[in-house]
């Protein structure tokens, strides 16, 4: 099979079809990486990679990174499931139902995530992606001026607000230890700009809580309009790669007992939120 592509949405997302052997060998790694920069979300339908193959593919397109320090489990892959028998992070994963980007509390955020579907939910469980480069470009000049140079505080606490009926003080303190002040406008090394918003954004520095929260909600609502969003309907065996530096994503709600199981790997970050080059620790080959 040749390297075939088909755009799935005018703003982002491209389907790629090619031989599994070519994916694993890195034969088209340069083309895939270029599409990941330009189209942000790449879909490989029903390629049915196992864990080892997914890791091998991940290593062909970037700096493959362990999950240690990210989800705290030290694993080479992360099992995405609401079933506590499948994932030790199941109780926290309902936060993925809200728009977010990965790694807002890391010194160097994740460059890209790679996720494959092992089991899918009969109802719900689709993943949506928003192009935050295009969303920024579409803002009015007044809004661009309003957020230029403005920082928001991001925290683990913000991602979990509303996820449980009650929160203990100990849980609150633990979640508040993970936080960072980040620019709302990410000025990338290549000159492009994207929005750093979503569920992890707790408040805007220098604004009243009400005004800051209103701005964050308005920007997220703007960035997640249909013209900026691709929704992926999962089939077993699908592999999806997304560029975390210019997207938000979320899962549509699904039942805890749905059986849905995703396997996720990630690529280490290559620039900070200030657009500075980074040399993150790499996983062993």
Q: What is the pLDDT of residues 44-72, one digit of tens each?
A: 999 999 999 999 999 999 999 876 544 44
Q: Give pLDDT tens digits for 171-219.
A: 778 777 778 999 999 999 999 999 999 999 999 999 999 999 999 999 9
Q: Which residues of 89-106 are buried (b: 16+ CB within 10 A; e: fewer)?
A: bbebbbbbebbbbbbbbb
Spans of all domains in the chain: 4-267
Q: What is the pTM of this model?
A: 0.93
* Strands of the sheet with 247-251, listed across from one edge: 229-232, 127-131, 247-251
The owner of tokens 């009650």 is 166
Contact 212, 62 (CB under 8 A): no
* Domain 4-267 part of CATH 3.30.70.20: no
Share of the chain above pLDDT 90, in %: 77
Measure the N-to-C terminal CA separation of the chain; round to a whole number of Å: 28
Which pLDDT score is estimated for 138? 98
Contact 235, 117 (CB under 8 A): yes
3-state secondary structure of 39: helix
Contact 236, 77 (CB under 8 A): no
Q: Give pLDDT tens digits for 2-58.
A: 999 999 999 999 999 999 999 999 999 999 999 999 999 999 999 999 999 999 999
């Amino acid at each position: 099979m040749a390297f075939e592509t088909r755009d799935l949405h005018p703003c982002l997302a491209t389907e790629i079809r090619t031989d599994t052997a070519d994916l694993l060998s890195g034969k088209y790694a340069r083309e895939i990486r270029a599409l990941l920069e330009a189209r942000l979300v790449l879909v490989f339908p029903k390629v049915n990679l196992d864990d080892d193959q997914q890791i091998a593919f991940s290593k062909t397109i970037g700096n493959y990174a362990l999950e240690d320090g990210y989800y705290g489990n030290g694993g080479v892959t992360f099992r995405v499931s609401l079933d506590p028998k499948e994932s030790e992070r199941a109780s926290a994963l309902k936060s993925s139902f809200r728009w977010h980007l990965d790694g807002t509390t890391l010194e160097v955020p994740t460059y890209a995530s790679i996720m494959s579907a092992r089991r899918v939910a009969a109802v719900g469980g689709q993943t949506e992606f928003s192009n935050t480069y295009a969303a920024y470009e579409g803002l009015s000049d007044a809004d661009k001026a309003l957020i230029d140079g403005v920082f928001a505080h991001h925290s683990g606490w913000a991602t979990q607000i509303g996820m449980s009926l009650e929160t203990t003080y100990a849980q609150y303190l633990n979640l508040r230890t993970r936080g960072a002040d980040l620019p709302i406008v990410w000025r990338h090394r290549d000159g492009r700009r994207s929005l750093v918003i979503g569920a992890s954004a707790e408040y805007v520095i220098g604004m009243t809580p009400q005004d800051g929260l209103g701005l964050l909600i308005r920007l997220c609502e703007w960035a997640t309009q249909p013209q900026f969003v691709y929704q992926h309907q999962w089939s077993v065996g699908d592999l999806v790669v997304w560029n975390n530096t210019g997207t938000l994503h979320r899962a549509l709600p699904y039942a805890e007992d749905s059986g849905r199981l995703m396997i996720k790997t990630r690529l280490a970050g290559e620039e900070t939120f200030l657009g500075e080059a980074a040399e993150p620790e790499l996983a062993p080959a």
